Amino acid sequence: MMTSLLRRFAGVLVSFVLFPTVVFASLESGTVIFENADTPPFYFKAAVSYEVFAPGDATSPVPSATDFTYVYTLTNQAATPPAGSFNVPVDRLDVGVGASASVTATTSLGVGIAPSSIDSTTSASRVQFLFASGINPGQSSNQLVIQSPNGPGDTGSNVAFGTFIDGRILRAPFTLPAKDFACYDVNKAEFKIYRNKSGKDKLELQKGAISFAAGDAFDPATDIVKLDLNNGDFVLSIPAGSFERKGSKADYKYETGSGVVPEVKFRLNIDKAEWSVKVKKADFGLFLDAAGMDVTLMIGDVKGRTSVPLTIKEDDGNEQKLEFKRSPRFECPKLRDDDSSAANDTTGHGHHKRSCMSSFTVTYRLGQPDQEVIALFGGDIGHPDTAVISSAGPSATFHTSCSVCLSCGQTDASGDFTITGISDATGKMMSQCGGVDPSCDITPDP
């Protein structure tokens, strides 16, 4: 997976109408590689090049006086596949769109393979460019265009060949989520900034407080996690699927691999209502002598935002240490797993008895081109029943109290929803039902 570190682009936009001789340059551009090497023998390696144009930029291929223009080109690279695999065409680019962002127009133009259709209506969170005949290795799409009043941010996006998908982060229309955490704050911040060593700085945000409102939860399979300092001075985006659950509790960790810069360790302990992050080998030069900073955390379509003061703790001319420490420490109410009524709930979660399962995965239209994997975690799994809803609209209800034995392959009455994963972390189903099929058991390691 990819972690994106992006700097805010500062500048003044001048109206093209008033100054027709001004030559604009695109706000941002780049290339992201999508690779599917996990489902042999099918293999693809695709590049998505993007360019973002501000409103009024005449160099945009589709100029707009009011909207940002996002231009993407999808190239299926003729890369050498792993042994035993072969290159396949790609037939779809899904560009994620921020949950509160809007799309005003989509089109395509120029040289290359044009999409057979563009869909921006079936899901509010993405624009889908479909290529019915596929883009073969060595071929590229034409320019794929999205226009939006919302400026660029990091969104989850996919390139696909049928049901074989690879997800990465792309720059696309984004705005801060409208929803807020039920409770959120920062308790401790520490910067270590080197004046003469670019890219060696460190940041720690410790013992942050967090809890979700009723109906919201962290789904590591689908939620992007973003940390934004000072409205874009430093942005850290962690793609969906990157966090790993530790044990049976709602405790999630993310850590970059060896050699990845910046080094990041991120923890979301939902059960304890805490979050923290450590970043090393980064550039925090913009924060030298800072008197304060805004800290925004976004999980999926929910956000928390607070401002903290900073004090210069040490400065020897080469290294500066900035610090913030809240006293007394602010805490959010912790989750409880009991039978108390929602009327007495102070967390916004609505206490209820939870299933013995810590995670439960159901696939809608298993094996079909439009299949969808729906993963539920922790408090999202109800007692005695859990409703599972597909993005296309159909839903099903499964009995998840653990008084009924479940196994992979079981379907709802319609046959459209199939159980494809069970995590019996407490062992109740294991003892009551004589075990869980190992191929179905997704219980995390303790």
Amino acid occupying residue 119: D
- The answer, yes or no, to whether residue 12 has pLDDT greater than 60, is no
| pLDDT score for 294 | 93
| pLDDT score for 285 | 92
- The answer, yes or no, to whether residue 367 has pLDDT greater than 70, is yes
4-173, CATH topology level: Immunoglobulin-like (2.60.40)
The closest alpha carbon to 291, from 227, 230, 231, belongs to 230
Amino acid occupying residue 159: V
Residue range 47-103, pLDDT digits in tens = 999 999 999 999 999 999 999 999 999 999 999 999 999 999 999 999 988 877 889
- The answer, yes or no, to whether residue 326 has pLDDT greater than 60, is yes
* Phi, then psi, of 111 in degrees rounded to 5: -80, 140
pTM score of the predicted model: 0.62
| pLDDT score for 442 | 64
CA–CA separation, 359 and 218 (whole Å): 12
**Is residue 412 within 8 Å of residue 394, measured between CB atoms?**
no
Residue range 20-45, pLDDT digits in tens = 333 446 889 999 999 998 888 999 99
Does residue 342 sit in helix, strand or coil? helix
- The answer, yes or no, to whether residue 339 has pLDDT greater than 80, is no
Does residue 233 sit in helix, strand or coil? coil
| pLDDT score for 347 | 35
Categorize the per-residue pLDDT at 351 as very low, low, confident or very high, splitting at 50, 70 and 90: very low
The closest alpha carbon to 46, from 69, 18, 75, 71, belongs to 75
What's the token pair of residue 128? 């889908």
- The answer, yes or no, to whether residue 147 has pLDDT greater than 90, is yes
- Picking from 111-115, 189-193, 250-254, which range would have the lowest pLDDT averaged per residue? 250-254
Other CB atoms within 10 Å distance of the CB of residue 331: 15
Locate CATH 2.60.40 in the chain. Answer: 4-173
| pLDDT score for 355 | 63
* Averaged pLDDT, 121-150: 91
| pLDDT score for 25 | 61
| pLDDT score for 37 | 85
* Averaged pLDDT, 310-338: 86
Categorize the per-residue pLDDT at 187 as very low, low, confident or very high, splitting at 50, 70 and 90: very high
| pLDDT score for 19 | 31
CA–CA separation, 300 and 283 (whole Å): 26
